[in-house]
Amino acid sequence: MSDTENKAITSNSPSIVVYWLADSRADRILLLLEELELPYVIQKFERGPDKLAPAELKKIHPLGKSPVIKDGDKVVAESGFIIDYLISKYGKEKHLKPTNEEDLFQYNYFLHYIEGSLMPILVMKYIFLNLQKQAPWLVKPVVNGICNKIDQLYLGPNIRAHLDFLEGELKQRKWLAGEQFSGADIQASFTLEMLLKRSNANEENVPNLSRYVAAMRERPAYKRAMEKVGKSCIAE
């Protein structure tokens, strides 16, 4: 593992390994670790031609998904759980989880909304886009017709609804859970960049959401996290 993938780990520091998969939510865990200023190492995995995670990841966790981390002898999976686990264990002085009732309410809501409501729609959008790309030429017109109809009747309207919802929320607050950057924003980082990319929305259509993503990308921790994996932004 290269020096750029490591931070010096002392006997008094947590020894965290991030099992990072290309084009996955694992980027948000790097962002969190950089915000927490914790030492960690990255083990990188690439997707195969089928776009799936390699079988080697099942040696880390039976589901073979990413993100997954190892903290000492604990293997921790699922983005929301990883975020809550690391903030609770190491981040009490970093103020990444609100303490006042209203902001905490928003924090908990968005921590679950991102993966529970928004991400499934984006995953479906991704699947249908890839289906169109990979369809044999003989059936491509039929596949394109079906996928376009699903996009028109279901995916498009749902994506628009999420854009409108988030635009309205971010008109009221700088960050998802208030005026303070939090773990909810870390959970949202990957997903909201992908939402803008998949919807072809722009600053004119969604000025508050665009402002939010731009502010995320300007955070020093974000830039350090992306540098670690040779990217300029999550939605690259």
| pLDDT given at position 222 | 97
Q: What is the pLDDT along the chain (236 residues), one digit of tens a residue?
A: 334 444 434 444 558 999 999 999 999 999 999 999 999 999 999 998 888 899 999 999 999 999 999 999 999 999 999 999 999 999 989 999 999 999 999 999 999 999 999 999 999 999 999 899 989 999 999 999 999 999 999 999 999 999 999 999 999 999 999 999 999 999 999 999 999 999 989 899 999 999 999 999 999 999 999 999 999 888 77
| pLDDT given at position 49 | 86
**Residues 180, 98: Cα–Cα separation, whole Å:** 8
Residue whose pair of structure tokens reads 């190892």 in the numeric block: 70
> What's the whole-model pTM score?
0.89
Please check whether residue 197 is in contact with residue 6, taking contact to mean a CB–CB distance below 8 angstroms: no
**Residues 231, 27: Cα–Cα separation, whole Å:** 10
Residues 6 or more apart from 53 whose CB is under 8 A from it? 21, 24, 45, 47, 64, 65, 66
CATH for 16-91 is 3.40.30.10
**Residues 192, 80: Cα–Cα separation, whole Å:** 15
* Helix extents (H) in 37-179: 79-90, 101-113, 119-134, 140-150, 156-172
Q: Domain boundaries in the chain?
A: 16-91, 101-219
Q: What is the DSSP letter of 65?
A: -
Sign of CA dihedral 83, 80, 58, 73: positive
| pLDDT given at position 52 | 87
| pLDDT given at position 13 | 53
| pLDDT given at position 166 | 98
Please check whether residue 93 is in contact with residue 183, taking contact to mean a CB–CB distance below 8 angstroms: no
**Residues 128, 158: Cα–Cα separation, whole Å:** 15
Q: Which CATH architecture has domain 101-219?
A: Up-down Bundle (1.20)
In this structure, the dihedral spanned by the alpha carbons of residues 182, 185, 189 and 192, taken in order and rounded to 10 degrees, is -170
Bond from prior residue into 67 cis (ω within 30 degrees of 0): yes
